[in-house]
Amino acid sequence: MKVIALKLYLLISLNVVAFAGQGFILPIPQKLEIDNAKSKLGEKLFFDTTLSKDKTLSCFSCHNIMTNGADDKKIAVGIEEKKGIVNTPTLFNAVFNFRQNWDGSARTIADQASGPITNPVEMGHNFADLINELNKTPYKEEFKLIYKDGITQKNIVDAIAEFEKKLITPNAPFDKYLMGDENAITQEQKEGYRLFKSKGCISCHNGVNVGGQLYSRFGMVKLIDDSNFGLYNVTKEEEDKYYFKVPSLRNIALTSPYFHNGSVETLYEAVSVMLKYQVGRDTNPQEINKIVEFLKSLNGEVNYAK
């Protein structure tokens, strides 16, 4: 961890722009291979408040997949108005992240799905009771049709994860540009993309998700918030303190507020924070605006209905 981070820091602080060129962005595929029966079952579970202890919340309550795959709260609010500790990330394109959650505490979307169901400040339920409840409903037969062993924790999260694979957003203007349509983005967005590369943003925010590929300290140049240990919570390694998964910037214009602590309202401010604390670069409002414009070209199409 430390070695990679230090290297990255040195490269950025030494203005080694060539390094930034090594990262690149890839378009989102039109769709992924999906098992439709599992996905339909997962979809039903996704919208079902049975998954929460007091039957008030479903996954959809916090992840509005009709709009941005998230909510608009600074910090998530669970059952009985319990306040969480972090901002709700979008579910869109989560399948492409190398780890799930801000601190990377889950490896896959299936591993992740158990978390909110049992987290006391989210849905606050437990699997033994949930499985009993579901077995008293038509779910019993529905699971049997797909899974030989019926309703189990593993099968519940497997179905939900299959549905989540549908929640990808292809055909963003920037993806069209990457695939050769020169006119898909504006001149200002092209200039913003150039700045995104030359300022070093792309060294962390790259790949299909324009992020979601590695960890980095929040505030490489200067620590921003010491109230959440990030990756350290998972590894208990001192050197991982304040490291977070570099988040995806896909659909970022739609998912205010920003950062794991939801501390920032506007994209303009989020980009300013990154420039100052993450890459330590001098800048001006014109440049920030151009980067913001570029980021808007990462809004894709919600594929959910298809």
CB 296 within 8 A of CB 251: no
Per-residue x/- mask for ligand HEC, residues 211 to 240, rule CB under 6 A? -----x-x-x--------------------
Residue 164 or 175: the one with the smaller Cβ distance to ligand HEC is 164
- What residue type is 188 in one-letter code? E
Residue 246 has which token pair?
């570099």
Considering only 53, 74, 199, 290, the residue that binds ligand HEC (CB under 6 A) is 199
Rounded CA gap, 235 and 187, in Å? 44
DSSP 148: T
Identify residues 68-87 at the interface with ligand HEC (CB under 6 A): 76, 78, 84, 86
Q: Minimal distance in Å, beta carbon 31 to ligand HEC?
A: 18
Residue 73 has which token pair?
């709260």
Beta strand extents in 193-289 (DSSP E only): 215-217, 243-245
**3-state SS, residue 163:** helix
Under rule CB under 6 A, residue 89 binds ligand HEC: yes
- What residue type is 278 in one-letter code? Q
Residue 219 sits at φ, ψ, to 5 deg, of: 95, 75
Residue 89 or 173: the one with the smaller Cβ distance to ligand HEC is 89
Considering only 25, 28, 65, 94, the residue that binds ligand HEC (CB under 6 A) is 94
Residue 214 sits at φ, ψ, to 5 deg, of: -155, 175
Binding segment toward ligand HEC, per CB under 6 A, in 28-36, 131-139, 169-177, 243-251: 243-251
Location of structure tokens 């519940």: 156
Instruction: List interacting residues with ligand HEC (CB under 6 A).
Output: 8, 12, 51, 57, 59, 61-63, 76, 78, 84, 86, 88-89, 91, 94, 97, 100-102, 109, 112-113, 116-117, 122-123, 160, 199-201, 203-205, 216, 218, 220, 244, 246-247, 249, 252, 255, 258-260, 270-271, 274-275, 278-279, 291
